[in-house]
Structure 1
Amino acid sequence: MPFPKCPQEQLIRRLNPPEGKVRIVLDTDTYNEIDDQFAVVYALQSKAKIQVEGFYAAPFFNSLSSSPKDGMEKSYLELEKILSIMGRNDDIPIYKGSESYLIDAHTPVESEAARNLVERAMASGEDDPLYVVAIGAITNVASALLMEPRIVDKIVVLWLGGHALHWPNTKEFNLAQDLHASRIILDSGVPLILVPCMGVSSHLQTTLSEIRDYVKEKGGIGEYLYTTFKDCHNDHFGYSRVIWDISTIAFLNNAAWLPSSLVHSPILSEDFRWSFDSSRHFIRYVNHIHRDEIFKDLFGKLS
């Protein structure tokens, strides 16, 4: 499906790190891992830089779900639980997302989330794009683009997906679940800020001791995040875990913590490897993370 071509000057302007407060929707497979919960809370607590307008439950399929639909529904319930603990359950809407992955590159998966994204994006002004922060499979966002290609000019997608461009492969969970959707995001020309997993956000490691010291006593949500972290592993001796998803929220809080550059959008192969073509449109690519500053900001905002 042809997408409107964003003039390069406008595209690069959209790819510049935001200077002020931005409006976001957060597309999340919240039940899949323990890092989504941290990202949801981090976004809500970053009120000076981020206005959360809605949450979209993303599909996922692994040992924690019986199908992409089941994963999406569990993520929806997890979002409800987090907002309830924070006393925000009547404050921000949650929308159910795709019940399956894309069957091809042309057919969207209809959902509340995709329809809401189209509606919000089309209502956005030229100088006030909607930031679509995606920390799971990108099915909901790709479906919205297929449903209404004109939103290419209305949104900026900030996605945690794939591995670093120098990595031997890019068979990463978010990206690999829905090959068609991932290719649409990379090929459509939509303004895209890509945060890779291995080689970049993999630096965001923390330990149970650190979570106990700086998170556990921060009210009901602090206790919940601590318990979730504690229960994720049987033996925390010498063990650390990556809280991948907070990278996207950190970029909106202070892009200097995530050095980046403009690169030509990579090509995603059938066997989940990157290849390159310098004639393709630009995206913003995060190539490093200053881990300590991000965790300091997160821990401080939990206060």
Structure 2
Amino acid sequence: MEQDNAGLLKRLRKPSGKDIDVIIDTDTYNEIDDQFALAFLIKSDERLHLKGIYAAPFYNANSSSPADGMEKSYDEILNILTLMKREDLKGIVKKGSTKYLPLETEAVDSPAAKHLAEIAMSYTEDKPLYIVAIGAITNIASALILRPEIKDRIVLVWLGGHAHHWPDTKEFNMFQDVAAARVVFGCGIALVQLPCMGVVSSFTVSGPELEYWLRGKNELCDYLTEYTTKSAIKDGGMPNWTRVVWDVTAVAWLLDGDYMLDRLEPSPIPQYDHHYGFDPNRHFIRYVYHINRDKLFKTLFDTLAK
């Protein structure tokens, strides 16, 4: 048990070097911040090497069902790759789950879950595969149920849930599939949590910033600027609106830079009544509690515009 704990703590350290294999799991059509995060990861290829792009399910005003949300996200991933002229990456895009976990012991079969269950087996405890997850965690939980032994071969960086001091866990990514959240928080995987309200909620961008830093730089930057502006206005934004692009922070945790502060915490227990349970004897996760907003935005803008 002590040896297992030592291995977990080692995997919870931020990776060093420029040889980091990554998969991103994203509900890309849900909100504009997924597009920012996907493009940011792709353009950070001096350090991060993309091995898979998974479409995650989502259900809100932008979709008619979780399956429809996943299909629309799949199409939007391909759209971003086209804008970036990265046709070479389209072969690693995988469709994900069409529904959420029915039970904590029952996987939802999908090309994404199968791909992760298979590819993760080629990694080791000393050289794990990193997963940036910025949607409902269904695909990752399903892979862990299909092949539990991969938990010591992967590190999950998930933007999900709210801060541990927040009065509830009604955050979109966690709220959609509580069963899947309970799987990833309970199985002992090396998990880095970036909570939304109370932590990453500070990572917002304004219209004038987008116009100054991104407008006219390239086709992708113009798309992100237009899409973000239209979304803000559509959602009733004030003339001085700001828009959350917090999914970017999950990518940034893997980069070399002091973009955030984190600490070790016992893994919380997502409850079906949308609250956390706490047990000080649970295994550790790494918990992000502060974002260096200005420094990360400078890196983001420079990276997208290059």
Tell me the TM-score normalised to structure 2 length.
Answer: 0.95
Q: Structure 1 pair 292/224, CA: closer, same or farther in 2 (3 Å)?
A: same
Relative to 1, partners in 2 of residues 1:197 and 1:255: Cα closer, same or farther, differing over 3 Å?
Answer: farther
Query: What is the CA distance between 1:216 and its match in structure 2?
Result: 1.6
Q: Once the two structures are superposed, what CA deviation does each residue of 1:185-240 show, in whole Å capped at 9, x if it has no partner?
A: 10000100000000111111111110111112221101110111111022551211
Q: Which moved more, 1:176-185 or 1:82-91?
A: 82-91
SS in 2 for 1:150: helix
Q: Please give the alpha-carbon distance, in whole angstroms, between the structure 2 residues aligned to 1:237 and 1:132.
A: 37
Whole-angstrom distance in 2 between the partners of 1:59 and 1:254: 30
1:8 paired with 2:5, answer yes
Question: In 2, are the aligned partners of 1:208 and 1:236 still within 8 Å (CA)?
Answer: no
Which residue in 2 is equivalent to 1:19?
A: 16
Give the C-alpha shift of residue 269 in structure 1: 1.6
For the pair 1:114 / 2:116, whether they are aligned, the reply is no
Cα distance change of structure 1 residues 100 and 5 upon mapping to structure 2, 3 Å threshold: farther
Deviations 1:113-145 (A, max 9, x none): 000001110011332200011000000000000
Structure 1: how far apart are the matches of 2:57 and 2:272? 21
1:161 Cα deviation after fit: 0.2
Look up the equivalent residue of 1:211 and give its one-letter code: L
CA distance in 2, matches of 1:132, 1:20: 17
Letter in 2 for 1:14: R
Alignment partner of 2:287 out of 267, 281, 285? 285
User: Would the aligned equivalents of 1:107 and 1:146 in 2 still touch at CA under 8 Å?
Assistant: yes
Alignment partners' CA distance in 2, 1:255 and 1:137:
27
Q: Write out aligned runs for 1:153-164 (5 A).
A: 153-164=152-163
Which residue is equivalent to 2:264? 262
Structure 1 residues 262 and 281: alpha-carbon distance in aligned structure 2, compared to 1, 3 A threshold: same
Which secondary structure state, in structure 2, belongs to the residue aligned with residue 252 of structure 1?
coil
Q: Once the two structures are aligned, what percentage of the paired residues are identical? A: 46
Displacement of 1:152: 0.5
3-state DSSP of counterpart to 2:188: coil
SS at match of 2:246: coil
Q: Which residue of 2 aligns with 1:252?
A: 254
What is the letter of the counterpart of residue 237 of structure 1?
A: P
CA RMSD, Structure 1 to Structure 2 (Å)? 1.4
**What corresponds to 2:84 in structure 1?**
86
- Per the TM alignment, residue 91 of structure 1 is displaced from its structure 2 partner at its CA by 2.7
Task: Write the letter of the residue equivalent to 1:146.
Answer: I
In structure 2, relative to structure 1, the CA distance for the partners of 1:124 and 1:249 (3 Å cut) is: same
Asked if structure 1 preserves the Cα contact closer than 8 Å seen for 2:11 and 2:125, the reply is no
Match of residue 172 from structure 1: 171
Aligned equivalent of 2:297, options 291, 295, 298: 295
Cα distance in 1 between the residues matched to 2:3 and 2:297: 35
**What is the number of residues matched between the two proteins?**
300
Per the TM alignment, residue 255 of structure 1 is displaced from its structure 2 partner at its CA by 5.5
TM-score where L is the length of structure 1 = 0.96
- Indicate the SS of the match to 1:241: strand
User: Paired residue for 1:124?
Assistant: 123
Structure 2 SS opposite 1:206? strand
The alpha carbon displacement at 1:256 in A equals 2.3
SS in 1 for 2:52: strand
Contact 1:6 1:153 (8 Å CA) reproduced: no
1:224 corresponding residue in structure 2: 223
Partner-residue secondary structure (3-state), 1:8: helix
Q: Distance in 2 between matches of 1:14 and 1:156?
A: 7
Shift of 1:285: 0.3
**What code does the residue aligned with 1:159 have?**
W
Question: Structure 1 regions of 5+ residues with no counterpart?
Answer: none
Q: CA separation in 2, counterparts of 1:91 and 1:269?
A: 37
Question: Is the 2:70–2:97 Cα contact (8 Å) retained in structure 1?
Answer: yes
Offset at 1:6?
Answer: 7.6
Structure 2: distance between partners of 1:67 and 1:91: 27
Question: Residue 17 of structure 1 contacts residue 255 of structure 1 at CA under 8 Å; is this kept in 2?
Answer: no
Query: Deviation at 1:253?
Result: 1.1
- Larger deviation: 55-64 or 123-132? 123-132
| Superposition map of 1:197-216 within 5 A | 197-216=196-215
2:184 alignment partner AA: I
